[in-house]
Amino acid sequence: MTGSRTLVVVVLRGMDWESSPVAQSLALAGAPLAVCVFSNGNSKLPPVEGLIEFSREDETNPGVGPRYLQAARLADERGDSYLLLLDQDFQAELGWWNCYEVAVAVHPYAACWAPRLYHNKIRLSPFSVKNGYPRRSQPLSEGLLEARTHVALNSGLLIRTESVLMASHELTQAPLDFSDYALFHRLGRAGASLAGVPLDLNHDSSTHAKTTPEARLERFAWFCSGGRAYCKLDPLHAWSLWRWTLGRALKLALIHRNRQFLSTWKRHFVDAKPPLGST
C-alpha cells in the first residue's frame, strides 16, 4: 500500500481549511496524500492545486454520507483503492501515516482500519455494539474485529473504496451520529472485518463540547432523526434505539432544565419528522 492509492476526505463545518487541525495534520503525515474537501457553505475552502484534488462548497448540507459516496466515486475514477475519512479536528503527530501503512500490511484483507480515539481518556472508538447499543467500556480483543458487532467513528477511518460504494443506500439514509452505524451495518452484513491502527489519538467530540442550550437542542434533533433512520435500516435494534434516544432526552432535559428535549425526541424520533437547519 502507498499513499498514492489513498484519497483523503474532509468535511468542514464552520471552520476554514487553513486554520483547521486536519490541514496541519496532513502536512505532518510523512507522505503526499491526495485530498478531497467539502464545506457546508460557511468555511473557506482551499484552491484545487497541489495535493487538493477536489474542493466543493455545498450549502444544501446533504450530510457526511452522501459526501463520502461522492468522494468514493471520485476515488474509483482515479484508481484509488482506499478512502481516509478525517474530521476537521483530526490531530496527529509527525509521521502518523506510517501507522496506517503498518496496519494494512499486518491485516491486508480487512475492509477498514481504525485508530483508537479518546476523549478525556475515555475510548470513543472503536467500540462494541450489542442490540444496537454502544458498549464503549467493553475491552476490545486483539486482532481483527467483526464489523457485525463493532463500530468505529468515521474520523480517522481508512476504508476500501469498494466498501463505501457498497454502502450507498445506508450512507444516504442515516445522518450525523448514525452515519457510522449505517456504514458498519452494511459492512457487517457483508461479513467484513475491522483492523486496528497502532495509533492513539485525542478526539474532540461535539457531544461533549460546550455549547448553548439552543445549539444542543438543534443537535439533539438530528441525533433523534438519525436514530429513527437507523431503526428503518435495522428494525431489530429499534427497541434499543428507543431507550437510548429517550434516555439522552431525559438527561439533557435535566441538565438544561428544558422540557423541549422531550418534545424534540417525540417529534423527530417517535413521529419521524425531519429537522430543519444545518447538518
Q: Report the pLDDT value the prediction gives residue 115, as an integer from 0 to 100.
A: 96
Q: How many domains does the chain have?
A: 2
The strand pairing partners of 34, in sequence order, are: 7
Q: Are residues 190 and 55 in the same domain?
A: yes
**Structural domain contains residue 113:** yes
Neighbouring residues of 247: CB distance < 8 A, sequence distance ≥ 6: none
- Model confidence, pTM: 0.87
SS3 201: strand
pLDDT at 51: 94
By the 8 A CB rule, do 26 and 33 touch?
Answer: yes
Claim to verify: residue 170 and residue 34 sit in the same structural domain: yes
What does the pLDDT read at residue 95?
A: 95
The reply to whether 74 and 164 lie within a common domain is yes
The Cα–Cα gap between 246 and 265 comes to: 7
Q: Could you tell me if 194 and 221 lie in one domain?
A: no
Spatial distance between the Cα atoms of 222 and 181, rounded to a whole number of angstroms: 14
Q: Which domain holds residue 15?
A: 3-202
Per-residue pLDDT in tens (0 to 9) along the chain, 279 residues: 655 599 999 999 889 999 999 999 999 999 999 999 998 777 899 999 999 999 998 766 667 888 999 999 999 999 999 999 999 999 999 999 999 999 999 999 999 999 999 988 889 999 998 776 778 888 888 889 999 999 999 899 999 999 999 998 888 877 666 888 889 988 999 999 999 999 999 887 555 556 777 888 988 998 898 888 888 888 877 888 899 899 999 999 998 899 999 999 999 999 999 887 544
Assigned domain for 94 exists: yes
Same domain assignment for residues 101 and 18: yes
Is the domain of 139 the same as that of 167? Answer: yes
Both 34 and 156 in one domain: the answer is yes
